[in-house]
Structure 1
């Protein structure tokens, strides 16, 4: 850990965003260096169990530090379980062997051709000793846990301590059984998603995935938007289907909507896809912003006094295909604090006015935006990332 965790920048002097909701202490983790520090400390102080679920873990210095901490926990008798998405993670052969050699369990999900091929496990979850947890958008690579890397991502984790942790652990265990089965069936996965989505209380774990109808988190967001007066959203990848665009436009016409999305990414197609939606939204008084300093990966919705925070982008894949996890927090005080966070992000963003959007929207760009929106909707990000769309300006 020494030498890998960076010194905390001046931003760390700001008071952390915290709240006590439904018997659970919530603490927002804004800095990449704090994310890595917290994760390694949680694993090293574990006494009974460690569960990790991530879309992406690379074989870089951050991945090695987390792997070695998991191996140490398994060696001292903790039950260690790790689920990674095989499409998202870039691991050399044998990278996870130290965990298995120490007695831990690992599952690298590789989708097969057929109905499951489009499925990605995009969730992020850590549960330690059934008493503290992490959820959010950041993966385990140097670029997600650094405040100095030139390729760093702006993102969030939320640290939980208390009553909301145990339901997340139960969900992880059910998903581990399904993911490591010889012939896991989508029908069984759909039952898991519905069974473990919570629909009552101030804190609710909301899940999404390839269900036929009634996608749990998607349905809840639609309900929250239907009666809302105000929405502030940060979505790194923003290309929602028509029904969601219509809801946003309606709220923009009748209330207040501000959406912050990316101006920089490792996937230019996702920026172009988002810009395809701007014309309709701007016409309905939705205010659009693009984040300038670095690549944006945050997933956050603040709908009146309700906060949704977790792994899901506001696009077709996250709403209907990927396995996603969002925590719904209904608390006016926490929502007010998160609006303060949102306002701070806007100070580093450019507002996309109708005039600016019209100036950008040449026929060639409109064609590229429309094609990108179609491909990002239909094809996995790992595929569109490799296509040469050219930089977006």
Structure 2
């Protein structure tokens, strides 16, 4: 398991109105290097802003490295890739789709990491697609302190791995040595990574926290199709008196089929005492967990697909003050959500049950690909 680092400072950045300006400000202030790793990037307003900021930094002498997933970046137009390359940005792609095995094509880099000068890191579920500007609810966390070096190490290892391929017109730059981040903070944190079935530190950490939660266990995920083991743990926690709540998408959803597949678990969860809230204002794409005074924020959806196939990365924080901020964020989101009533759910119409069965069966078939 990764080690805990002391003396950090973490800033919770809810919604794009908070984390996008903070990241663009960090890009503008960069002096040595900017490292960006994203799953989703497609041409549009936000991609234009990101490209402009990165090219501007590169032209003033900052080393800029952009690592994109080969599938998640398929919507990035050729002319935008050329803008990045011509502007001095080193561009690489993780595992581009090819004629190799199906399982290799299914393995994706789902991480979202930004590191600036080795002094600050941004982590969350964000991407450079226009949906994050006005249609999807997302959060991020800014990290300062010793954990930044761990985030940088994750990036550097993948950048140099055999699974990435460059499209640069010049050799990728040699990265400067990492800077030492000294935030003077008082928060304890650690960087957690998941890499499909090969390395599941995120899953194991979550299971430990679920099993040991004493007061509260609140989980937000856009795709609630958890493993059987996690479902059992959540129900056991609720039965022993822990306040277990799920914050899930409502009618606004980018994959309605996944929503219907997830709803087949509602009855058992409600029966065990788990409270379920469906977010109403927009599609909630955020992934964060609060268990007592421990929190985890990042890219992992905590569903069986992510845990098996994808590379994921979460920032864990063990701090009462930060937990109070995450608690307040959950409370604000619960207030604009509809809580699922157990009796009303038991009386749901036949066509709703049919959708749950159908998409549940499809989800089961996909699970067998593993």
TM-score range relative to shorter protein: 0.7 to 0.9
Distance 2:9 2:69 in 1: 29
Shift of 1:36: 2.3
2:79 match: secondary structure? coil
Instruction: Find the partner of 1:62 among 35, 46, 66.
Output: 46
1:97 aligns with 2:86: no
- 1:371 CA displacement: 3.2
Q: Is the 8 A contact 2:197 2:307 kept in 1?
A: no
Number of aligned residue pairs: 335
Could you state the TM-score of these two structures normalised by the residue count of structure 1?
0.81
Q: What root-mean-square deviation, in Å, do the aligned CA atoms of Structure 1 and Structure 2 show?
A: 2.0
Shift of 1:341: 1.0
CA contact (8 A) 1:233 1:301 kept: yes
Residue 166 (structure 1) shift: 1.2
TM-score with structure 2 length normalisation? 0.86
Structure 1 partner of 2:120: 132
Counterpart Cα distance in 2 of 1:247 and 1:111: 36
Deviation at 1:43, TM superposition (A): 1.2
CA distance in 2, matches of 1:373, 1:38: 40
Choose the corresponding residue for 2:239, options 237, 250, 253: 253
Residue 361 of structure 1 deviates from its aligned partner by 4.9
Equivalent of residue 323 in structure 1, options 289, 311, 336: 311
Name the SS of the counterpart of 1:239 in structure 2: coil
Query: 1:300 touches 1:309 (CA, 8 Å); kept in 2?
Result: yes
User: Matched residues in 2 for 1:60 and 1:379: separation?
Assistant: 31
Secondary structure at the residue paired with 1:257? strand
Q: Relative to 1, partners in 2 of residues 1:65 and 1:349: Cα closer, same or farther, differing over 3 Å?
A: same
**1:224 matched residue in structure 2:** 209
1:351 aligns with 2:339: yes
- Counterparts of 1:315 and 1:217, CA distance in 2: 12
Secondary structure of 1:202's partner? Answer: strand
Return 5+ residue gaps in structure 1 as ranges: 1-20, 183-200, 381-393
Show the counterpart of 1:165: 148
Contact 1:316 1:377 (C-alpha < 8 Å) held by counterparts: no
Are the structure 2 counterparts of residues 168 and 377 from structure 1 closer, same or farther at C-alpha, using a change threshold of 3 Å? farther
Could you tell me which runs of 5 or more consecutive residues in structure 2 were left unpaired when the two chains were aligned.
Answer: 167-186
What does residue 185 of structure 1 align with?
A: none
* Whole-angstrom CA distance in 2 between matches of 1:181 and 1:30: 33
Residue 130 (structure 2) aligns with = 142
